[in-house]
Structure 1
Amino acid sequence: MGSVKVLGVNGSPRKYGNTFKMLWLALRGADDLGAETRLIHLYDYHLEPCMACYSDNLYECHFPKACPLYERGDKFRELAEAVLWADAIVFATPVYWFMASGKLKTFIDRLTALENMIYHTGRSLLDGKVAGVIAAGEEAGAANALSWMLLTLNMMGFHVPAWGAAYYHGRGDVLENEQATLDAYNVGVAVVRLVKALRGEHAGSEPWYRLDVRERVADLVEELRKIAEEEKEKARETRPWLL
Structure 2
Amino acid sequence: MAWVRLEWGPRAIDVFEVWADIVVVVDVLSFSTAVDVAVSRGASVLPCAGDQAAAERLDQEFAACVAVPRGDMSKTRPYSLSPGSLAALPGGTTLVLASPNGATLTAALASPGPVVVAGCLRNATTVGAYAASVGSRIGVLAAGERWSDGSPRPAFEDLVGAGAVIAATGAAERSPEAAAAAAVYADAAVDLYERLSDCMSGRELCSGGYSADIAWAAEVDVSRSVPLLVEGRYVASADGSATAVPR
Establish whether TM, by shorter chain, passes 0.5.
no
* TM-score of the superposed pair, with normalisation by structure 1: 0.30
Higher strand share: 2
**Rg larger in structure:** 1
Using structure 2 for the length normalisation, give the TM-score. 0.30
Q: Which has the higher helix share?
A: 1
